[in-house]
Structure 1
Amino acid sequence: MPRTHVPTASDVITHACPMREVLDRVAGKWSILVIVAAAQGPVRFTELERSIEGISRRMLTLTLRNLERDGLLTRTVFPTVPPRVDYELTPMAEELHRSLLSLTDWAERHRTAITAARSAYDTARSATNADGGTS
């Protein structure tokens, strides 16, 4: 009977490093907002800039460049004066967007329970600290 490989901590760490790099990139605040903003179809830089509150021009440029580099966005330059540039999600990013929608749906369904759990936790911690307990 063949032996099955049981992953060791070293195996998990070895595989987690590249995975973490990808997750860090796509889970970043600005990356998520750009993906969501570009999900409806081709979008121009200025449209993204207007729709993503708080993002600077430089941060938007860097985020777009990184998402393009990672294969999540395509950038199309149209030879007009002035040049028009459109950004569009790749199929891989469309799949990620569907996952983000699932996560958003989960967060909405459990928002009240999480708020209640936080309140109960904070109340219990306050009572423990008031009684001289350690934090």
Structure 2
Amino acid sequence: MRKINRAIDEKYKACPIRNVIEKFGDKWSLLVLYHLNERGTMRFNDLGRDMSDCSQKMLSQTLKRLEQIGLVARQVYPEVPPRVEYSITELGKSLMPHVIGLMEWATQNFENIVRNEGDL
């Protein structure tokens, strides 16, 4: 049984869809990208106000992860007090048509999903 599980794990480690979705398929990443795409460069507190139900810790972790994978750029200005701004990168912008499509699909199908979920 272990051999089979190991073989399956090895096969799917190379799966681009699985690996990419793992990077930003959490609750907040797509919303951060959406806000940066819509509003342009933003400071941390501005993003926090737009996403008031996201804790500062979670927003910080999400921004760091998106920066690490190249979807968000972080610019630190040598000022007192320090100013940090976030913007969507070209790679992030290339993802946005798909994110917007997913958001449109979710909006159109939300009631059906909730109704079906209630049937469980």
4+ residue segments displaced more than 3 Å: 9-12, 109-116
Over the matched positions of the two proteins, sequence identity in percent amounts to 34
Which protein shows a greater Rg?
Answer: 1
- TM superposition score normalised by structure 1: 0.69
Equivalenced residues, count:
112
Deviations 1:77-118 (A, max 9, x none): 1122211111000111112222111111223334455566x2
Q: Following TM superposition, by how much is the alpha carbon of 1:14 offset from its aligned partner in structure 2, in angstroms?
A: 4.4
Gaps of 5+ in 1: 1-8, 126-135
* Residues 1-135 of structure 1 mapped to structure 2, 5 A cutoff: 13-16=12-15, 19-39=17-37, 40-111=39-110, 114=113, 118=116, 122=119
When residues 115 and 63 of structure 1 are mapped into structure 2, their CA distance, relative to the original with a 3 A threshold, is: closer
The alignment yields a C-alpha RMSD, in angstroms, of 2.6
When residues 35 and 12 of structure 1 are mapped into structure 2, their CA distance, relative to the original with a 3 A threshold, is: same
Amino acid at match of 1:79: P
Deviations 1:23-53 (A, max 9, x none): 0221111111211121121000000111112
Gaps of 5+ in 2: 1-7
Q: Following TM superposition, by how much is the alpha carbon of 1:68 offset from its aligned partner in structure 2, in angstroms?
A: 0.5
Q: Which has the higher contact order (CA 8 A, sep 6+)?
A: 2
